[in-house]
Each structure stands twice: as C-alpha cells, then as structure tokens.
Structure 1
Amino acid sequence: MTDNSSEVVDWETLNDASYVSIGVYLITLAPTAMFGNCLVLFVFWRKSLYKRPVNWFIVNLAVADLTVSLLALPMSATTAFSKRWNLEVAGCQLYAFISFAGACNNILTYAAISYFRCQIVCKNRYIARVKYGRILGTLVAIWSFSILWTLSPLLGWNTYELEPYNITCSIRWTGHSLGDKSYVWLCLLFVYIFPMTISLMMTVTFVFTWTPYAILSTVAAAGINITSPIALLPTLFAKSSCAYNPFMFFLSHNTFKSFKWGFASCTKNNAEDSGRLYMSRVKFNNRVEPSDLPRCSTDSDTDSDSEDENILLPALAGAIKKEKPKIYGYVEDVVPLYSDASFRRMFRLSRQTFQILSSYLEEVPEMKKDGNGGKERMSPQKDILTTLWYLGTLDSIDRIADRFGISPSSVIRARDRVMNSILTHLKSKFIKWPNPNELNQIANNFQQKNGFPGIAGALDGTHIRIAKPTNHGDSYINRKGFPSLQLQAVCKEDMMFTHVFTGFPGSCHDARVFRNSDLWENGLQMIPNIYHIIADAAYPLRIWLLTPYRDNGHLTHEQRRYNNYLSSNRMVIERAFALLKGRFRRLRFLETQKIEYAVKIIMTSCVLHNVCIFNHDEVDDFIQQDVIAANYNVPGIQDCEAQGVQKRNQIARNLL
C-alpha cells in the first residue's frame, strides 16, 4: 500500500512475543473503552445531564471513543495476533478513517470544552447564552472539520497506508510529494497545534496522549526515519485515550464521581437484606412504600452527604416512584457567574464577606470535609451558601434542596453544621461587651450625633414570629396577637450588637425579659458610672441605664430636649433590628415549634449580622422599614433609682 512518493524503509523486526503483547493490550483496551463510554452515556441519560447543553461535549467524546473501541480496536488487535494486516486495502482505509476521525473529534472537542469553560468562568452570565443551538453548531463544526480531514486522503490529498509492523493504518506521514507534505503540515497545524494552544492549560491528558504521536509524525514528515519498534509506542498510546477518557470524567466531573457510588456503596447488611421483602407491609394497592425496602447509601448529588436511595429490585421497580429530579451545578457553575450585586442580593451579604466568613469556618473541626460512611461530605463553601440561603429567605427545605441539587436531609445537616460552628466558634468573637477603651470610643461616636454624653449602647427588644408551640403555646402570644420569641439586644452606633439575649415568650414584658438577663445582673459592673446604655420607657431607670422622662403633659423644655436626643440616639437599635430582619428574612417567621432551635437560628443570625457590620457590608438596601415603623406600644414602668434620676437630670441640664 505504498507508492513511489513514499520512501521504503527497512524496519527492525518485531518478535512474536511483542506481537502477542500488543494484541493482548489492544484486546484488553477495547472492552475497557466500551464499558467506560457506555457507562458515561448511561449516567448522562439517567442523571438527565442532557438538560445542560455543555454536557453534550462529553457525549460527543463518548460516542466517538465508543465507535473507535467497537470498530477500530478489534481490527488492530486481530492483525496483531496475525502478525500482519489481513483486512485488505479497504479494511486499512476503513480503520484509518475511523481512527483518524475519532482522533480529530477528540482533539477538537477538548479545545471546544476549554473555550466554553473559559467563557463561562470569565464572562459574567455567559452560561445563560450557552443554548442547545450554540452547542449543536459547535458539534456540527467539529464533525465537519474532522470529516474534511479524514475524507481528503480518500479523495487524493495524501492517502491511507499501513503503519510500521502492519498492525495499524494511518495517513502517509513520510510521503515526499507536495500533496503529502502539505497535507501533513497543515494537519499538524490545524488539528494539533491550534487546538493545543486553546486547551493546553485545561487538558493535560490531551498533550500527554497525542504529543508523542505528533512528534513522531513530525519527525517522519521531516524525512527522519525511526526504524526501531519504539515507533509503535506513540500510536498504541494514543489509542488508549478512548479508554481513559470516560474514567477521567468520573474522576473530574462531580456528577459522574458521585454517581459511581451507586454501584458499590451497599454494605454487606444491605446486600443480605435485599433478598428479604416484607410482603406483609405492602399496601393493598400493590404499591410498595420506600420504607418497606432495604436501603442502600447512594450519592444523589455532587455532594454525597445526601439521602439514602432505595434499592430498586427488578420485580418491584415499576411500583416505586422515580428519583426526584434535581438541579445540578448551581453552586459549582452558576454562583461563580453572579455579579457582586447579584451575589449579595441572593445570599444577603457581599462576596467579600462570604469569603471572609468561609475563611473563619473552613478550619473549624465541625466543617472539615470528611467522609461519612464512605461518602464524601459537601464542601464547606456549599454548606455555608446553603445556610445563608436558608437564613436569607423563607423558602421551604424542599425548595432549597431543589436549588442546590441536594436532598432535604442534606440541607438540614448543612444548616446544622454551619449554625453549630458559628455559635461555638464565632459567637464569642463577634458578640462581646466592649472593653474600657472601646466604651470610650463608642461614647464619643454617639456624642458626635447630638451631644448626648456617655452612651455605651442602645437597648431594646423585638419580637420574632414563630409557629405556636404545642406546649404552653398561649404563653408565647404577644400583645399583637401572634406567637413570638423576645429578642433583647444592645448595639453600638454602627448597629453592631454587643449583647444579645433571646428565648423568652412573646407575652413577657420587656422589663421582665431584661430582669432575667445577665445584663441586669452584671450591668453595674459592666458599665462604669461615667457611661450608660439608653432605652425606652419600658425599662427601669438606673445609673447605668437611662430612660426618657415620662410625658405627663408637663415636661420642661430641658426634659423634652433630653427625650428627643435620647430617642434620636436610641433609634440605632431599631435600625439594627430592621437590618437583622431585612437581611435574614427567615426571622420574619420561624416555622419551628422547637424553641431551642428557634433560639439557635436567632443567635446565628445575630452573629452573622455582626460579621457583616465588622466587614463594612452595605446595609441600606436590607433595612426593613416596616420594622422601624412598627410600634408595639410597650407600657412604661415606674422604677426609677435615685442615682439614675440624678444622673438623668444632670445630663438634661447640660444638653445644648
């Protein structure tokens, strides 16, 4: 199968053992490649990956590699065992056409994947424009370009011929005619070098597989003849790509990586139980309840800390509901594309604050990514984003699970991990009483507003609406008629909380909540005499806690000015509550009857509120104005300590 334009080369002989070894290699490679690529196609269909257009590139690679493994690899294995090409000229041309078309498709598809991934990562919202038409057009272009190069040798521009040792066929790399050389050099340029420049950084395996072959081809095209059997190695190594490609998908693609456990994660007990069906528990309508079947731990998402799936026995498969569809890739593919404004709107804090929060929590033992029963836990970042979405919206657990592509139980576990980590490791760092130097700075900042001296913080309470508890539910009904928990807090002039106390029923008066808090017990020690916190008339007057004069219609000008100045400074705590509820909208209604869990949600939100304030996160667009406007008309009390009265009168006289 050579002509005068190809130089006759005396190749070194290949012994029988080498032919057999090559045949064994190829005959092993073929079924491995068939299995891997069929598995890729199966997972693609089973997991509905076709709904994401970019995944069609993976299908394209799998189809091309499967074709090569079904047709070309068995042909070369047969000739290796025969020690000669026994499939005639037509067989050689068919083999070379299939192999070369698969190779071109493989290389160009990698380049296309690199291009689209770069566009998706680097260009905001580009993923929204990656539609089926764009991907289909790219695939058509890839195949058209591949067919153009593989048909050319059949039409006279170069030709297909046997490669060394009569095992494989390819284009004539060593031809000396202008047509042969032009084809070879242009092919190397457009089918290898140009795609390589696109995909080098992403697809290292592409370079690892095809570079030896390209080097050998370049050497041959340059007229340098390699007569050693080593010349076979690049060709044989290149064939391996159709086998390892699918396994690269399983190692690098989260969905494939998690899906593989579905075949291997059943424990011995599961396997033993799978043969025992409790028919007495089958419902009369012949539908089997999922709880009646043995269970098998299966990863249903990129993060495998999700719910166990049922083992679907063949006899009962039709009676079981199909796995609930999920949205995949939200955190991995969509969130990185959000603009900073969109990220903040979605997760209720800035991307920078999220990164800082992640850095705090990533080293926390509870958040360490660790296997659980052979399964890989969700990443800390996905845990945190899931929790932020939970706290920032009123979405149900099912809706959050659907958005993040995980199970409802995974949402709950992620939320609990993050909240426990925050309360254990961050609460004491971000909600703490100021030291003397800080008290002085806080007082100066308040005084700059209107001259009111010595303010160490503003105190008030707010109601967090909850579902009515089953035990003593009526005691949680507040004066507005809905069940709630009391949240009492002190904040600085910048709305950062310095003290938080919560958990008392909504029916309790603010003063009663205050008297049961550690602030009441330790206030005199916490606040030196030159400082004081300010509150409304619902609280008692003390030397360290100043309240307004009771308006009986006969207040003096000094007293009215004092009340106005105090009220103006005290508004900061109402704004802080409005920001807290506006940023973390879950606090508008806690649909849980477990009081201790509601308290954890409230406290976690307060810590995160302070994290945002500390990192100068914008606040104005999150402040919930109706919270500021709400007036619960807390009845005032007559509890005035003499020292408190004296201090209040002195400040009133000195205000300008």
Structure 2
Amino acid sequence: MEVSEYVLSAGRAVLDMVEREWQPLSPGELEQRLDQAVEEILEADLMAKLKSQPPPTLYVQLLQSQPNAGPQVLHTAAAASSPPEEETAESQERLDTVDSAAVKHITDLLQSSKSRARMAGRARLSLSHTVLLSLTLLSERVSYRSVSRRFRLEKGNIHRIFFSFCERINMLEERQIRWPVGREAVEALFPFFCPEKEQEGEEQSVPQVLGVLGHIRIPVRLPIGKHDVESTVPEVKRMKREAHPDSWLNLELVCNRRGQFLHCRISKGSDMDRGSALRDKLKQNPELMPPGSCLIARAGYPLTAQILTPYITNHGPREELFNKTLEEHFHILDQAVANLRARFQRLRYLDIGNYDRARAVALTACVLHNVLLDMGQVVQGEVEKEEAMNREGEEEGEADDEGVRRRNAISDLLFKNFESGST
C-alpha cells in the first residue's frame, strides 16, 4: 500500500513538472511519460538494493526477480542518473560524425532568428542536439523509433521536436530563399549564350539569364481514406501507378547558376499552376528582372518576355539550336534538385499524411539547401533519368505576343552568331 502511494505521488510530481516546464503534451505522451517515471523509480530502488547487497548471487537473483529487468535495466538507469543537460560521450561522438560546422551554423541561425520561443517538446535537449536530431531525420531514411533509440527520447517527443524544428526553419524562408534585386541581381546574371565572334561595328545584345525555372514532385503518404490500404504494392510504385493527384507535393523552383533557390512554391498535387502566379508577379513588378534579363523554363510553362521556353513545333535548324542552348541551362536546375535529394534522403518519400507538415518538411530541406551552399558544402547527387523521360511529350504552355517576339529575336541572334562563328 505504501509503495503504491509512493508511486502515485511521484507520478503526480512528474505530471506537474511536465505541465510547468514543457510545451503541452498529448494524453498518450503524458501516459508514456508517467510509465517511464514509474520504471525509473523501480529501477532506482533496484539499484539501491544491489549496492547494499554486494554478493554476486544476490545481484543475479534480483535481476531475475524483475519481470522486465534485463540488459535494458542498467542502460536506462545509467541514462537516468546522468544530468539532463550534460552531453554524454556517446552523444558527443554523434556530433563529431556529422558535420559539426553545419550543426553549429544552423544552431546559430535559430538562436539569432526573431522567434526565440522554445521549441515544442525540446525539454532539456540542447539546441545543438535538436538540430542534430532533425538533420538526422532529414538526411537519412530512418524511422522515429530508430532515432528514439539513438537519442534516448520517446518516439512521440522525437516527432514533436522534429516538426517544431521545421516550423522554426520555415520562418527563415524569406532570409534564405530570396529573389535578388538591384546589384545582387545584376551580379547573378549569366549569358544566354556566349558569342563566338564579335561583329565589328555591330552590337551583340546577348540576353542575360537570371535563373532556371522548373518543378519536381515529391511522393507523400495519402491520408487514410484516399488510397487502398489493402494493396500489397509498395507505396511509391502504387502511387505512380494510380497517379492520385494529392499523393504528391509540387515544388516549383527557380535556381541560379550556383544551384541556390531564388524562389520556392509548394503546393498539393492537384494545385499546380505551372508558373502562372510567378508570371503575373513578374509582370506586375518589372523591377524584379534586370533590363534584358530572363528566366528560362521547360515546355509547359508560360512563354512571356520574362520567361523563355523551348519550341515545341516547327523545328528547323534555328529552333533546334535554340532548344539545345536551353537544354544546357536546364542541367543547372536538374543538378540542384539531384543535390537536394542526395543531401536530404527523406524527400524520396514523405511518410506524412498531413499536407501542412509534409510541406513544412519540404520547405525546411530547401531552406537548408541554401544555407549549406552558402557555407560551401555541396553534396553531388545523380540526376535521375526517369524524371527526364517523364518530361518528354510536354505541350507548350500559354504564350503571349511579347514572349513569342522575344523568343524569335533571340533565336535569330543565336543562329546568326552560330553561322558567323562557323565560317
């Protein structure tokens, strides 16, 4: 009777501490925390008895008398005895195996951001370990259970820590994914093509490219009720076969020649406008594009004076040369996307049935992609051939008269330059 009252009192104390020092937890997590507190009390009592009874035979008997006691008892007791904020040798070793410079830089970014509110579920986990834990989930295709074992935190809390981290990183979007303006935009420009030969007395007005526009699709888990839960076909293959519109996230991206993202729009699979919102924004804000500059995009995007797309029909030598020149620039975006996926393996398939959270994870990866590029860290990925095949057969998007005229003028200049350079 006394033992049960002692356990109940300890449980209430733990609940009071949780409500006072932590962000609110779900009923399931509170119950799990109470169970953990009870186990620690029993283990502490067991260890006290072991210390008071030195003979090895009694040690074995006590271990055998506990139904749940085994190799985990000493492991958990050791973990519980260490100070909550003290970094163990094992956790420090994990910090060393990951790029500590990246962890420190991202930690500093979060500390210097406007929102200084404590992340939900962090408890006494240091911010650097919060960053390390979240980078582990983003970079590796590991389960919450696996990360829970690594960091000695319950799975429910791992979930809360990760999504709270993503929310904080999303708040850095405007600082890290920025459309260049003014001098920065001019310095970001690169030539549409390089003139082979300057014509004496003739101005070569070679157009300048600000960035490459395109998109990728990221498979996500559909909410319950939107797919056949009895299917035995692997999830990603089944999604490709069924082609449910909301089984994907669309990421519309613009990247510069370094592979940094200047623009990122994330939408559901059923909400894909193929650059129309960006087209309207550029028309309404012409100062966003330096004079004589343009974006280039694949077929399916709108053709305007600011966005140039390839020819789909009437392929002559002039059109073929223009398309070939565009294709060389498309490799910039293809490589940037390949690097993004290689660095953040979780983007291969987001096992998240909630659109807002799936979007938060994808945006977090894009923001951190730019952050790490600024640090000089490049992860070289392999461009997927399957995506290139899926782009074949695309139809031409909307085209306005000004866009048609500019594309024809540039293709004429390109062809003229090519002929004069080959003679």
Common fold, TM-score beyond 0.5? yes
Which residue does 1:604 correspond to in 2?
A: 364
Tell me the SS of whatever aligns to 1:267: helix
Aligned pair 1:385/2:132, yes or no?
yes
For residues 609-624 of structure 1, what are the structure 2 equivalents within 5 Å? 609-620=369-380, 623-624=381-382
Aligned pair 1:583/2:343, yes or no?
yes
Stretches of structure 1 that go unaligned for 5 or more consecutive residues are 1-261, 272-290, 299-306, 344-349
Whether the 8 Å contact between 1:296 and 1:311 is mirrored in structure 2 is no
Aligned pair 1:654/2:420, yes or no?
no
Q: For 1:230-279, what per-residue CA distance to the aligned partner results, in whole angstroms no more than 9, with x for missing partners?
A: xxxxxxxxxxxxxxxxxxxxxxxxxxxxxxxx9996435979xxxxxxxx
Pick from 348, 357, 369: which aligns with 2:106? 357
Distance (whole Å) between structure 2 residues aligned to residue 370 and residue 594 of structure 1: 20
Task: For residue 514 of structure 1, report the CA deviation from its aligned partner.
Answer: 2.6
Whether the 8 Å contact between 1:578 and 1:628 is mirrored in structure 2 is no
Q: For 1:436-493, what per-residue CA distance to the aligned partner results, in whole angstroms no more than 9, with x for missing partners?
A: 322222223765699963211101111101112336569x966884731111111100
Q: Match of 1:464, as an amino acid?
A: I
Q: For 1:543-585, what per-residue CA distance to the aligned partner results, in whole angstroms no more than 9, with x for missing partners?
A: 11100111x4x52322211111111112211111111111100
Pick from 180, 194, 198: which aligns with 1:434? 180
Task: For residue 503 of structure 1, report the CA deviation from its aligned partner.
Answer: 2.0
Aligned pair 1:522/2:272, yes or no?
no
Whether the 8 Å contact between 1:267 and 1:296 is mirrored in structure 2 is no
Tell me the SS of whatever aligns to 1:502: strand
For residues 109-120 of structure 1, what are the structure 2 equivalents within 5 Å? none
Q: Match of 2:260, as an amino acid?
A: M
Which residue does 2:154 correspond to in 1?
A: 407
Which residue does 2:222 correspond to in 1?
A: 468
Change (3 A) 1:395 1:453: same
Distance (whole Å) between structure 2 residues aligned to residue 502 and residue 414 of structure 1: 23
- State the identity as a percent: 21
Distance (whole Å) between structure 2 residues aligned to residue 588 and residue 458 of structure 1: 22
Q: Which stretch of the first structure deviates more once superposed, 350-359 or 564-573?
A: 350-359
Which residue does 2:353 correspond to in 1?
A: 593
Task: For residue 433 of structure 1, report the CA deviation from its aligned partner.
Answer: 0.9
Distance (whole Å) between structure 2 residues aligned to residue 358 and residue 576 of structure 1: 24
Aligned pair 1:333/2:79, yes or no?
no
Higher helix share: 1
Q: Match of 2:222, as an amino acid?
A: K
Tell me the SS of whatever aligns to 1:467: coil
Task: For residue 357 of structure 1, report the CA deviation from its aligned partner.
Answer: 1.3
Tell me the SS of whatever aligns to 1:462: strand
Whether the 8 Å contact between 2:318 and 2:412 is mirrored in structure 1 is yes
Q: Match of 1:439, as an amino acid?
A: A
Whether the 8 Å contact between 2:342 and 2:379 is mirrored in structure 1 is no
Change (3 A) 1:269 1:470: closer
Q: Match of 2:257, as an amino acid?
A: E
Whether the 8 Å contact between 1:362 and 1:368 is mirrored in structure 2 is no
Tell me the SS of whatever aligns to 1:361: helix
Pick from 626, 629, 637: which aligns with 2:384? 626
Distance (whole Å) between structure 2 residues aligned to residue 576 and residue 339 of structure 1: 27
Change (3 A) 1:628 1:460: farther
Whether the 8 Å contact between 2:191 and 2:207 is mirrored in structure 1 is no
Q: For 1:564-619, what per-residue CA distance to the aligned partner results, in whole angstroms no more than 9, with x for missing partners?
A: 11111122111111111111000000001101110000000000001011111123
Q: Match of 2:218, as an amino acid?
A: I
Calculate the aligned-residue CA RMSD, in Å.
4.0
For residues 276-291 of structure 1, what are the structure 2 equivalents within 5 Å? none
Q: If the length of structure 2 is used for normalisation, what is the TM-score?
A: 0.69
Q: Match of 2:106, as an amino acid?
A: L
Task: For residue 409 of structure 1, report the CA deviation from its aligned partner.
Answer: 2.1
Aligned pair 1:458/2:212, yes or no?
yes
For residues 31-110 of structure 1, what are the structure 2 equivalents within 5 Å? none
Higher RCO (CA 8 Å, separation ≥ 6 residues): 2
Q: If the length of structure 1 is used for normalisation, what is the TM-score?
A: 0.46
Q: Match of 1:642, as an amino acid?
A: D
Distance (whole Å) between structure 2 residues aligned to residue 473 and residue 437 of structure 1: 50
Q: Match of 1:388, as an amino acid?
A: L
Distance (whole Å) between structure 2 residues aligned to residue 420 and residue 466 of structure 1: 19
Distance (whole Å) between structure 2 residues aligned to residue 270 and residue 449 of structure 1: 72
Task: For residue 365 of structure 1, report the CA deviation from its aligned partner.
Answer: 7.2
Which residue does 2:53 correspond to in 1?
A: none
For residues 137-536 of structure 1, what are the structure 2 equivalents within 5 Å? 266-267=11-12, 309-310=37-38, 332-334=88-90, 336-337=92-93, 342-343=97-98, 350-364=99-113, 376-424=123-171, 426-444=172-190, 453-470=207-224, 481=243, 483-505=247-269, 512-515=273-276, 517=277, 519-524=278-283, 525=285, 526-528=288-290, 530-536=292-298
Distance (whole Å) between structure 2 residues aligned to residue 320 and residue 334 of structure 1: 25
Change (3 A) 1:370 1:398: closer
Whether the 8 Å contact between 1:361 and 1:421 is mirrored in structure 2 is yes
Q: Match of 1:561, as an amino acid?
A: L
Task: For residue 537 of structure 1, report the CA deviation from its aligned partner.
Answer: 0.8
Whether the 8 Å contact between 1:469 and 1:594 is mirrored in structure 2 is yes
Q: Match of 1:489, as an amino acid?
A: L
Distance (whole Å) between structure 2 residues aligned to residue 380 and residue 522 of structure 1: 38
Distance (whole Å) between structure 1 residues aligned to residue 154 and residue 14 of structure 2: 24
Q: For 1:111-144, what per-residue CA distance to the aligned partner results, in whole angstroms no more than 9, with x for missing partners?
A: xxxxxxxxxxxxxxxxxxxxxxxxxxxxxxxxxx
Which residue does 1:643 correspond to in 2?
A: 402
Task: For residue 351 of structure 1, report the CA deviation from its aligned partner.
Answer: 3.1
Task: For residue 333 of structure 1, report the CA deviation from its aligned partner.
Answer: 2.2
Whether the 8 Å contact between 1:265 and 1:296 is mirrored in structure 2 is no
Tell me the SS of whatever aligns to 1:631: helix
Stretches of structure 2 that go unaligned for 5 or more consecutive residues are 1-6, 17-26, 43-64, 197-204, 229-237, 418-423
The alignment of Structure 1 onto Structure 2 pairs a total of residues equal to: 345
Tell me the SS of whatever aligns to 1:490: strand
